[in-house]
Amino acid sequence: MARPSEFDRDEAIASAIRVFARHGYEAASTSDLIEGMGIGRQSLYGAFGDKRRLFLEALRRYSGGSLAQMREALAGGACARESLEGALLAGLGDADDLETGCLGVGSIVEFSRSDPEINALNDAAAALVVAAFAARVKDGIAAGEFDAALDPQAAGRMLLTLRSGLKVAARGGAGQDELREAARLALRGLR
């Protein structure tokens, strides 16, 4: 009979996300994961199977959390422009804490389009983000904040691209003021 896990799975995955964000998939060793997660080697393999399955679960969890942060920001704000700005700037991470890097962007850079499972996870996450941005752009068009000729889907894709770039810039050392300025400049283009 298998022994029950002696660790909190949610905490272990949150810790694995930090390790993968710091090192990337390839460079994160089993020792890094065991130390970062605070579990034993046998527990890691027993609970997650292998490093790859742990990474896929961590990426899934990270993407869900990132989307939840964005949706919360999109629901706030006095107007569509303010809520889009909030969503663009939510949870970007920073250069001083390497464990706050974006696992999604990191996996795209590391794997490109070479891994079908990672592609599927990233593509699904991107589609949800684009849809959330597009819905808020539609609200902005209806309220007269944005150009009526805008294609909300195209604007959503542009905002996803901007958000990815902002995450890279934050990781590269850009400060909040610089990131906010870039977001505001892009949003002015929607008017």
Residue 7: the pLDDT is: 84
Give the mean pLDDT of 177-187.
Answer: 97
Q: What is the pLDDT of residues 78-117, one digit of tens each?
A: 899 999 999 999 999 877 887 788 899 999 999 999 999 9
Residue 112: the pLDDT is: 94
Residue 84: the pLDDT is: 98
Residue 97: the pLDDT is: 80
Give the mean pLDDT of 177-186.
Answer: 96
- The structural domains of the chain, ordered by start, are 59-188 (1.10.357.10)
Q: Does residue 1 surpass a pLDDT of 60?
A: no
Q: What is the pLDDT of residues 27-75, one digit of tens each?
A: 999 999 999 999 999 999 999 999 999 999 999 999 999 999 999 999 9
Give the residue carrying structure tokens 């996996």.
107
The model's pTM? 0.91
Residue 98: the pLDDT is: 74
Residue 100: the pLDDT is: 80
Q: What is the pLDDT of residues 130-164, one digit of tens each?
A: 999 999 999 999 999 999 999 999 999 999 999 99
Residue 4: the pLDDT is: 47
Residue 5: the pLDDT is: 54
